[in-house]
Amino acid sequence: MHEDDPTLEAGAPRGGDAGARPPLNLRQIEVFRAIMLSGSISGAGRMLHVSQPAISRVLALMESRLRYPLFERSRSRLVPTAEARRLYAEVEQVYGGIQRVNALATSLGEAGAGMLRVVSSASFGQRMIPTTLRELRAGKAHVRVDYRSATYDELAGYFLSGQADIAVSMRPPDHPNLAAIELGHSEVVCILPPGHALAARSVIRPEDFSSVDWVGYPAEAPLGRVLAEFFGGTPSHAAAMEVHSPVTAAAFVQQGLGPAMVDAWCVGPELRRSVAVRPIAPAARVGIWATYSDLQPLPLMARRFLAVLRTVIDGEPAPVFGDPVTS
């Protein structure tokens, strides 16, 4: 019965031979489980989409290898022996493990290694990051995201504490265990309260800040460095207020506390309704950097996030200048 059975390896010992019992293979275990679940050869065949003779041959080979019966024949059904019942309990544990492996493999394909952890400058968290996540989730609905905004000084700490997969900022943190790539640039613009004296100008220049209160940034902040280049050093009239984020600067401008310079990504439709936007001369821009750990590979979902982010940045139109948009 076994001579033409492709599942029987050459040289495998027969049921009556002495010596060690050869191990069962995965196909035989699969057939055994199907018989236990269905209670018959025909039912197992339907479950596995194979013929009844093929199931019978595999079962016969299993019993020959084990040298004890697994089933008692009772009419059209197979009644498992005590040995079969005990073996089945172990098989189900194995199948439970296989199902968990398959579930994890599927999850990794859909959502990387669990949750995607993103950190960014608050300014980029206004539109850039939400737009990227919307596009990412449009094709991968099960992506779970932990998003946090942070100042430049805080970025490295998120990686060192294991709380970030990828960070997006105007300037990459300087740390030996972090790698960064520049994805693009964002133009720096001046936003002003409606009716402010400088709003009458079509272009804002360094000397225009010499007689007005304005909102600035610390010298070590990314936009603080941009301002130093814009003013050619220290401004003749220091900022009346310093903030650590363009988002905070925009809130100050909305309250009439003076003009501020922000990156164009900070100026969304909501902000455009309440502030005037002007270009600056000389022109300035900030970088858009993606940072990740150099000690381990970037997770799958973080790589997908990065690819979508590039598309979002490339598709951003040039800033629109003018007075507040009221309609």
pLDDT in tens, 138-149: 876 577 899 999
pLDDT value for 110: 55
pLDDT at position 140: 61
Fold of 186-286: D-Maltodextrin-Binding Protein; domain 2 (3.40.190)
* Range(s) of the chain covered by CATH 3.40.190.10: 114-183+289-315, 186-286
Q: Please say whether the dihedral angle defined by the alpha carbons of residues 251, 232, 316 and 313, taken in this order, is positive or negative.
A: negative
Residue 38's pLDDT band (cuts 50, 70, 90)? confident
Angle of helix 26-38 versus helix 52-66 axis, rounded to 10: 110
User: Which helix (H) or strand (E) segment is 150 a member of?
Assistant: none
**pLDDT above 90 coverage of the chain, percent:** 63
Sign of the CA dihedral with 124 first, then 127, 133, and 135 last: negative
Within the chain, all domains assigned CATH 1.10.10.10 are found at 26-94
The pLDDT, as a whole number, for residue 114 is 62
Which pLDDT score is estimated for 148? Answer: 93
Higher pLDDT, 19 or 218: 218
69-92 pLDDT per residue, tens = 999 987 767 899 999 999 999 998
Size of the chain, expressed as the number of residues it contains: 327
Mean pLDDT of all residues in 238-260: 96
- CB within 8 Å of 200: residues ≥ 6 apart: none
- C-alpha 33: how far from its chain's center? 38
Mean pLDDT calculated for residue range 40-58: 92
Q: Which two tokens stand for residue 296?
A: 């381990």
Contact 282, 230 (CB under 8 A): yes
Question: What CATH class has 114-183+289-315?
Answer: alpha beta
Burial (CB count <10 Å: 0-12, 13-18, 19+), residue 79: exposed
pLDDT of residue 106: 66
- The C-alpha angle with vertex 35 and arms to 34 and 39, in degrees rounded to 5, equals 125
User: Is the Cβ–Cβ distance between 154 and 296 less than 8 Å?
Assistant: no
Quick one: tokens of 20?
A: 């060690």
The pLDDT of residue 35 is above 70 = yes
Which burial class, exposed, middle or buried, applies to 202 when counting CB atoms under 10 A from its CB (0-12, 13-18, 19+)?
A: exposed
Task: Give yes or no for residue 327 having a pLDDT over 70.
Answer: no
- The model carries a pTM of 0.67
Does the domain formed by 26-94 have CATH 1.10.10.10? yes
pLDDT for position 98 = 82
